[in-house]
Amino acid sequence: MEAVKNTREKPQWRSELKKDEIVIEIKGLKKSFGKKEVLKDINLTLKRGENLVVLGRSGQGKSVTIQCIVGMLIPDGGSVKVFGKEVSQLSEDELKELRTRIGFLFQGAALYDSMTVRENLEFPLTRVLKIKDKRELDKRVEEVLDAVGLPEAANKMPSDLSGGMRKRIGLARTLIVKPEIMLYDEPTTGLDPITSREISELILKMQEKYKTSSIIITHDMECAEITSDRVVIMNEGEYVAEGTFDDLKQSDDEFIRSYF
């Protein structure tokens, strides 16, 4: 099976978007835990409709960066702006409102294990979007389950699902509220190569369907190749390289080449 490489022409919806509209802008981001300086000086922008892959070894602060974007962690310094708003200065209600526009797929999918798949999917609809109409809930659940290719899974418990299926349902739960930005935290970690490829292709498919802008944290090169429009490489709390996947692949820098 040959991997679907993201060298396609930009689809119609992307050219219709406001070009160069920046949805996430990070400047001089710093974050330490105790004496360990995890993020030293991170500068990053995400444009609307773009898929940005952040590559780097484990423990380099990739996940910390996206946790700062959704306000789970408060930066020690620098600025994180999402849709032009400084995240650290938002009130609790404003942060909650912002989070409804951002989807976050956790490494382990983080499904609520005391609930069925249907209840997992309905949770953000009833609690965040306050949808109470049963028909509307059913329609949305069916639509998103079809989109991730698991229409029969609605009544299963998370413990009955395989790793790949859990990731798909996690993705479905995130996409069901139709976020504008998707943050993926190592979406293919712990999966076999075939399932990893399926998840990477699903990310691409979902981006087309839901017209999201995405940051994908990974150290899976195939995932990066399939999903990326742009790649940044992170090392010791700093970004060391940026470009398209093919550009970086042909780089003369030994450190960058070591990833490929």
Which positions touch another protein (CB under 8 A)? 70, 72, 96-97, 99-100, 102, 104, 106-108, 110-114, 123-124, 127-128, 130, 173-174, 177
Coil/strand/helix, residue 226: helix
Contact 55, 232 (CB under 8 A): yes
Q: How far is the CB of 225 from another protein (least distance, A)?
A: 27
Q: How far is the CB of 114 from another protein (least distance, A)?
A: 8
Rounded to whole angstroms, the Cα distance separating 118 from 141 reads 7
- The nearer residue to another protein, 184 or 245, going by C-beta atoms, is 184
Q: How far is the CB of 24 from another protein (least distance, A)?
A: 15
- The nearer residue to another protein, 94 or 136, going by C-beta atoms, is 94
Q: How far is the CB of 258 from another protein (least distance, A)?
A: 29
Q: How far is the CB of 103 from another protein (least distance, A)?
A: 8
- The nearer residue to another protein, 8 or 130, going by C-beta atoms, is 130
Rounded to whole angstroms, the Cα distance separating 41 from 31 reads 9
Contact 83, 74 (CB under 8 A): no
Q: Find tokens 């292709």 and name the residue.
A: 201
| Phi, psi for residue 9 in degrees, rounded to 5 | -75, 150
| Residues belonging to the chain | 260
| Residues in CB range of 41: below 8 A, 6 or more apart | 28, 29, 30, 78, 237, 238
Rounded to whole angstroms, the Cα distance separating 86 from 69 reads 10
Q: How far is the CB of 177 from another protein (least distance, A)?
A: 7
* DSSP secondary structure letter of residue 72: S
| Residues in CB range of 256: below 8 A, 6 or more apart | 233, 240, 241, 248
- The nearer residue to another protein, 174 or 228, going by C-beta atoms, is 174
Q: How far is the CB of 260 from another protein (least distance, A)?
A: 30
- The nearer residue to another protein, 124 or 245, going by C-beta atoms, is 124
- The nearer residue to another protein, 112 or 260, going by C-beta atoms, is 112
- The nearer residue to another protein, 166 or 197, going by C-beta atoms, is 166
